[in-house]
Amino acid sequence: MRSPTQKPFAALALLLAALALLDSCVSPPTANPTPDSALPSSALAQPVRPSTPEETRTRALAEASALLKSGRYDEAIAGLRKLVASEPDSPETQGLLAAALVSAGRYPEARSAVDAIIAARPGDPAPLVLAADIARFQGNEKDRATLLEKAAATAPGDAAVLVAWGQYWSDRKTWSNAEASFRKATLAAPANPDAFHGLGLALFRLSRFRESEAALDRALELEPENAYSWSDRSRTRYQEGKSAEAEADIDKAIALAPQAAWFRIDRARLRIDANRLAEAETDLDAAVSNAPDNFLARLYRAAVYEKTGREALAMADYDQVVAIQPDYWYAFESAGSCAFRLGDFAAAAPRFQKAFERAPTHYEYAILATISMMRQGGMAKGRAFAASLAPKIDREKYASSWLILRLLQDQNDLTSELEIAIQNEKRLDAKAASLFWLGEYWIIKGRGELGMKYLAAAADLHRESAFEYGLIGSELARFAKAGSRG
């Protein structure tokens, strides 16, 4: 699974490209340098030879590379600016500066640097592609397309241009176009790993998993240290039913990039599917530690906590999910359910209310909020809340919801109409939910034994797809425990 936005990955790719180019510009050190202590004193006394311009350049590039690798972008950029000033006619150095600026998120400055290269070398597609990447990061898709069109007009068969077009179509989820662009890139440059990687991803999205695996095989042959290629081949192998091979691939990705939260999440998902929950939890703990704002890491960890009966921990993670990703309102339902199972009705009520606010036709949330208010002793508050909702419901479409809200509001024990509606209900999920609600009504009224009969009837339907089903077990256990105490 990937982040809703791919910007961090593309920025990282640019950074890696910059580092590779920097490293290729830096001469390797002497394999076995002679230690000073082994030199004759006459040699030590000789004056130091001034560095040549090429040696100065090599040293500056080595320093910039080390700074970029350690995340000290501003210092690296300052050094590269000095280098650009000393050799203003070098587009390679200017390109390195632009890539470093992109990695630091300084997009306007990066674009200015690239525009200078474009002006100096109008026939070169490379700076146009880099400018298109910057436009992508800035969310300017119109400018991005214009730049790619210029690059294609300049060099229609250039592999880097074709790869950039493939990414453009991938971002739009137009997978057939993406496949076509990446495939052309593989033909134009059979040794280009990005072309095969992109092709593998497009084929994955088209559910052509065998072809996807073959493309990613080639990407890994060309670039075996690319953690993302290992991760993506893991996903396509899993879809082919090759679980062991898929896990071996994601193991390799994690070994190459141990701090990458996404790889840990992907391996945790494999382990959850295999019911290896303790191992999955270890991965998710690491993912949360490495990326505290990654909501999916917390979402999956909350699910593991739920599966292992640790409702309080699960609720805390679900609360963090909506704090990080407010649009993921389903977490309110999950957090409310955890609180309900714990018997913490004061915590359940506001979470179900928030879920209802985000999904105002899901009356089950409103009903559970009302029930939770009443179970915590807020009878008047619950009745008022139910009264505010009942007049707004379409009685024809949501008959059972309207009936239970009226029953909760009036507290008159007139359940016959609801009983008939339950008997006539053909949808088993809706029938089970209504039985659960009616059981909760009788618990609120102090008639626990009658309430448990309705809950047991709901449980007997085994409608695991209805989220109320997950609340029944804890209610039956509470009642049994209370009964055992006399």
CB 250 within 8 A of CB 263: yes
pLDDT digits (tens, 9 = 90+) for 274-308: 999 999 999 999 999 999 999 999 999 999 999 99
Pairwise CA distance, residues 132 & 145, whole Å = 7
Residue 48: the pLDDT is 55
103 closest CA partner among 71, 136, 145: 71
Would you say 193 and 219 are in contact if contact means Cβ atoms under 8 Å apart?
Answer: yes
Interval 409-451: pLDDT, tens = 999 999 999 999 999 999 999 999 999 999 999 999 999 999 9
Model pLDDT for residues 226-239, shown as the tens digit of each residue: 999 999 999 999 99
| pLDDT at residue 329, as a whole number | 93
pLDDT at 26: 45
pTM exceeding the 0.95 threshold for the entire prediction:
no
How many helices and strands (H and E) does the chain possess?
Answer: 27, 0
Decide: residue 391, CB within 10 A, 0-12 exposed, 13-18 middle, 19+ buried: exposed
What is the pLDDT at residue 484? Answer: 54
Q: Determine the Cα–Cα distance for residues 380 and 2; give it in Å rounded to an integer.
A: 46
Chain centroid to Cα 91, Å, comes to 36
Confidence of residue 192 (pLDDT cuts 50, 70, 90): very high
Coil, strand or helix at 291? coil
What 8-state DSSP symbol labels residue 225?
T
Q: What angle do CA 167, 171, 175 make, to 5 degrees?
A: 80
Tokens of 446: 């102090």
Mean pLDDT, the chain, whole residue set: 88
**pLDDT for 44:** 45
Q: Could you give the CA distance from residue 341 to residue 348 in angstroms, rounded to a whole number?
A: 9
Which ranges in 359-446 belong to alpha helices (H)?
363-375, 379-389, 399-410, 416-424, 428-444
Q: What angle do CA 463, 469, 471 make, to 5 degrees?
A: 175
CB neighbour burial string for 64-86, b if at least 16 within 10 angstroms, e if fewer: bbbbbeeeebeebbebbbebbee
Candidates 229, 236, 234; CA nearest to 248 is 234
Contact call for residues 2 and 262 (beta carbons, < 8 A): yes
Lowest mean pLDDT among 234-238, 258-262, 322-326, 462-466: 462-466
Distance CA 32, CA 247 (A): 41
Identify the CA nearest to 366 among candidates 393, 339, 335, 328: 393
The pLDDT value recorded for residue 50 is 63
Reference 322, options 341, 349, 302, 343; nearest CA is: 302
Give the mean pLDDT of 189-202: 97
The answer to whether 11 touches 137, Cβ cutoff 8 Å, is yes
Contact yes or no for 199/186 (Cβ under 8 A): yes
